[in-house]
A and B are shown apart, each in its own frame.
Chain A
Amino acid sequence: MGIMLGLFGAVLALILINVPIAVALGIVALTAMIVTHGWGVLPNLVIVTYNGATSFPLLAIPLFILAGAIMNASGISRRLIAFASSLFGWIRGGLAHVSIGASLFFAEISGSAVADVAALGSILIPGMKSKGYPAPMAAAVMSSAATLAVIIPPSIPMILYAVMAETSVVQLFVAGIVPGIVGGAGLMGMAYALARRYNLPREEAFSWRRVRSTGRDALWAFLLPIIILGGIFGGVVTATEGAALAVVAALLVGLVIYRELHLGDLRKAVLEGAIQTAVVMLLVATSALLGTYLTEVQAPQALAYAVSEFTQNKWVVLALLNCLFLLLGMFLHSAAAIILVVPVVMPLVRAAHIDPVHFGLIVTINLGIGQQTPPVASVLMVASAIAKESIWAVTRVNIWFIAVLVAVLLLVTYVPVTGLGLVDFFYR
């Protein structure tokens, strides 16, 4: 235990002086290995770092990011918003509900909450402000709704978790469906309550004709990802293969169906996807170094043992892990939190007989909340920047939506059937 705390302390110290997290992990692992084994260990380290970046299942990440970026450049955000507007616009606080509804739809295309809030927020937040919504309210509802992107498949954090915990990404995807929809409904309920308090307007009245016409327009953007997810769930294709097909579908929608995708957009989408992949994969690669060392000194097992001395109760362990991840979420980016912490706590999770898919869902929702809680809160920052409000002003409203997300987290944690029901039904 002492060794582990020392290592994490060293990593933390480096991160705090603004060494990139990936490099901090590498430096600490390298130093620890050289101290234990001498300089002869260096060649192995290079090979470990290289091998860390060659995981086939992780290939799904660049491809899903690319698919999302292309879809977004193809004019689908606008169409999904129009469709959501025809469905939810008539309720009091119409645009707030539209934001949540459009995020629900966008979530089945995108695996990233920041991509989600950037794509939809840049249209909806100014829209809400012009209709008299207080800016913090507009930013808060968009920010918390974007969390649905990581809960509803596909989800980049889920792919990372599945690889780190050596569990099924497909089952984890399926586990996210019901909690994602429940979360969306909960956020809408809260938005309604706030809409009454702020006396927010409705949009145009409900009409089936508008639902049909906007639905037809958004059909392809909507249908192709569902078909691909169906293929993944049915076992026709793996998650990685499905991700490649999602890129094909995105190109089809952008170039052939809507014809709004330009070469410049495509180039930008490719580069964005590549850079976002590289920064996370470098983290994966250098964490393999630290992982090798921790395994050698049996640190994760020591942690599992120490906690099991204290309690063996599955629900207490889950409560502890929830607190840990909520806390981490405030200070770490979600990819970093998963890569750093999941391999360390997995022996504990198994020892407490916690289903790894269940735990994966819990981690994902936790880190989704972490993107909303300052000081380090990527999604909140993007939403606040678009609304031109301070993150603290937005947080004062967002706290209500965060409460909804925490309620979903508790529901998923202590009523496991919420997430695992579909998984049990289809796969077990």
Chain B
Amino acid sequence: MDLALLIQTIANSIVAGSIYAVIAVGLAMAFGVMKMANFAHGEFFMAGAYVVYVFYALLGWPFPIAVLMAVPIVGAMGIITERLIFRPTRSNVLAGFMATAGLAFILQVLVGQAWGVGLMRSVPTPYMGAADILGAKIGWQRVLVVPVAIVMLSCLWYFLFKVKYGKALRACAQDPDTARLQGIGINKMTMLAMGISGASAGLAGALMAPIHPVTPYMGHGVILTAFIVVVMGGMESIAGAVLAAVLLGFIHTFVTTLSDAVTAQMVGVACMAIILIVRPEGLLGRVKA
């Protein structure tokens, strides 16, 4: 691999890692708080992309506004999911997970009926052209992902460590019983967690809408990667998810460039399997007593 290709691939990897991080962080957070595993996380991502499709491509609103619209809309979807699916199945993690598989079907059909299944929707690229970074050419649209991801993750960090509700969320994740004793309402926390989970997935989808073909099934590819990242990082560790996301971004991109996308998928899945077997708590997860 010559230097130019190496720089290009590193640049591609950073972009990939950023997107994986934004997607996976929401999943890790939901799982951390009361073990809500969302099979439809990929569909939340898809919903975010469609929000941009509707507001930007169809209605002509400015791209940044369309992206911001995805946050509350998909966040609300997350909250509804918590209320209707996760709360009744709280005692059974598997049941909640499987029920969200049903939710995934529902979302795919609804979106498909509303905006047409079949041909992919094209979202115009708001920022055409490429940045030239040390000889590597990255589209501005992709470059945008990195600062947005950093801002989003920083806000999340600030929220979790400096804001009352965020600290309550962390307390709930670490020890729900003690948290309850301290007067923290579990229901409020689970709603909050799912809201953030949905919002971040929606934001990721919104950013990717001009980059990724927009179809009702675009969540398929996302969900496996998201779970690999979360498992590798440690199921409920947000920091772990970020670390694993960047790692996986590099692994996927390099393997794809050197070999092909299928091999990259295989390597990713193999990493996940190895972690589960050798160190089930993941890179940064806590070993449960």
Q: Does chain A bind chain B?
A: no
